[in-house]
Amino acid sequence: MTINTNHPTENQARQMRENHPQSYNCWLQYNAIDDVSVASFYRSFCQSFVVLCDRTPLINSAIDELQRGITSLLGETPTETGKDDNQLVLGTLEDVAQEDILDRISLANLNEEGYCIRMDERQHQLYVLGKTEKGILYAVFHLLRKMQLNEILTTEEVIEQPVNQIRMMNHWDNVDGSIERGYAGLSFFYQQNRFSRQWDRMHDYARMLASIGINAVTINNVNVHQVESEFITAAFLPDVARTADIFRAYNIKLFLSANYSSPMQLGGLSSADPLADDVREWWKEKASEIYAAIPDFGGFVIKADSENRPGPFTYGRTHADGANMLGEALAPHGGILIWRCFVYNCHQDWRDKTTDRARAAYDHFMPLDGQFNDNVILQIKNGPMDFQVREGVSPLLGAMKDTNQILEFQIAQEYTGQQKHLCYLVPQWKDVLNFDTYAKGEGSFVKDVASGSLYERPLSGIAAVANSGDAYNWTGHPLAQANLYGYGRLVWNPELSADAIASEWITQTYGNHATVLKTIKEMLLQSLQTYENYTAPLGVGWMVNPNHHYGPNVDGYEYSAWGTYHFADLHGIGVDRTMQTGTGYTSQYFPENEKRYESLEACPDELVLFFHHVPYTHQLHSGKSVIQHIYDTHFEGAEQAEQLREQWKSIKELIDEERFNDGLTRFNLQVDSAKEWRDIINTYFYRKSGIEDEHGRTIYS
């Protein structure tokens, strides 16, 4: 079975929900609890509920979710009553401030999205409490997650709050219905240069995002095209406002990607110079117009002066000049300006080995530390290149102690198989979050930069490029849902393990069959290494076809035929980024990491070609030569891809036919692609090096 990529009407979207419920519902299946003791425990509390706080759209969302979940999980719908015994109690901490239930709870430091769930054994009540109404919504989702996982609450309080202040989803959707780097169909926000008005679908998506704690979303591409530039005009603002209403009911603020040159394109001004009075006034008036339509509008996301996008460089101004001008326009309304640090000259000559794209973000932004306004945040990709399967962590993360920073991941698998391949990305994200920058000495982790705790910054968080589209299962590959779920759970709590997140997702999505859980979890946890094995070795990256970024092309390059990213010749391979003989990129790290990466002996094997140019015979810490590592991992990776397919086949009778067939189609593609990668990469490096595979395997035609 293939994924339908025809753009749905609203009626078709409703049909998806009805005709493909298991695929469409993702981890919000709410299947009936089959454990009698668990069902009995929750049934004793869930016959009725009382709401102690005022009814707002957000509280109504929480109540709707509670009733939907309990009805499906327990087979009976709870009724709303007055305060009584044997019931669920929903409210804020202030609503129960006079009750002695709070005597045993330490809640003083909870933030506004925090919550508490606890049992009162005296009256047999289950309190579902938020610090504010936002916390109530998240508490309801937590309770329903516990129920789906067949976990009985103990007498100990559940006290949780998000670690990261901003937990954002970036959509790269275009108003014509296409999605840049979208691998799950078309956009459900737009079609044919207008909003699709699939309000029900957007509502279902908001539910999904809220269930994993997302609280901010951009709904259009960072590469803002001509029509999308008009989203901030009267022609589109009513539909933008309607979309914001839907997300607001789930505590998700709506942001827009804006075109930096809008004063020229929309306002007819002669420039977009950030220091020009008429430009500054235009943006202030535009901000007032937007906030009149959307009072809680989040703000703008801006990509400027990179990959041919307009920006302040045209006028001899800095990124700080450009960002602060927009920040000033948003500030009176409480808005935020997010300025992306993915800035580099895509027209530079890559034949010059002193040119290094990896240096670009740090070189551009580090000299500006402390010059950005307090409502401006720099959005920094997890690596200095572009979401590769393996690259160094961006040295800009943690370097700017006087600037707000938000970490950027990519859920969409642009360079990791485009959701045709299984590639569970949570382990990669965990590695990034746990990377020690040494910014304030040992223990200065990236996760502390993202949370704002390292430098006590007022604004911080994590954003990611979304992987959802209008496919009936949202993500194309049914197992790609694990990345969407895993991202949300991880940015809520970076201490969760990749294993635990996988278990949560599998159980909620496919049920609690032990064999299904064991098999899919093994597949997920192995998949990132498998993908790395048959694609890019030792941190060299890229080697994909230009433009669409799928499939092997060893010398592929995005913008021209100006060479490659790996500098392979008959003598060796890798990029010399050392201070002593290379581009000097290693100097951008704090001394402890600089020393580790500068030294060929100390550099980890998995990044050796990212930091060093070495002979093919260079011996790795593993004991293998570089060339033998390339041969071995590509053979292993192709075999592992076949193993993934066989593992999937082994649970055919234990999951539904639709999701099984969708997965099998993808695994067949992955097996074929892995073999292609193996043969092309190994053949290329055999011909470059002239060194035979020591195991005598055929590696060239």
Contact yes or no for 587/594 (Cβ under 8 A)? yes
Q: Is 414 a residue of the active site?
A: yes
Residue 517 Rama label (left phi>0; alpha psi -120 to 50; beta): alpha
Residues forming beta bridges with residue 405, ordered by sequence position: 378, 460
Tell me how crowded residue 636 is: count the other CB atoms within 10 A of its CB: 15
> Of the listed 113, 157, 414, 594, which one is catalytic?
414
Contact yes or no for 217/247 (Cβ under 8 A)? yes
Token digits for 571?
A: 């003598």
User: Of 189, 185, 173, 186, nearest to 221 (Cα)?
Assistant: 173
> Of the listed 176, 239, 386, 436, which one is catalytic?
386
Q: Is 386 a residue of the active site?
A: yes
368-395 burial, b for 16+ CB within 10 Å, e for fewer?
Answer: beebbbebbbbbbbbbbbbbbbbbbbbb
Contact yes or no for 691/616 (Cβ under 8 A)? yes
Contact yes or no for 454/448 (Cβ under 8 A)? yes
Residue written as token pair 């040119």: 355
Say which residues have a Cβ less than 8 Å from residue 640's Cβ, sequence separation at least 6: 526, 529, 530, 533, 534, 674
| CA–CA separation, 253 and 255 (whole Å) | 7
> Of the listed 80, 120, 307, 642, which one is catalytic?
307
Q: HSE of 529 in the Cβ direction (CA atoms, 13 Å)?
A: 11
Q: Give how far Cα 67 sits from Cα of 2, 252, 360, Å.
A: 34, 21, 51
Contact yes or no for 447/435 (Cβ under 8 A)? no
Q: Report, as residue numbers or ranges, the catalytic residues.
A: 307, 386, 414
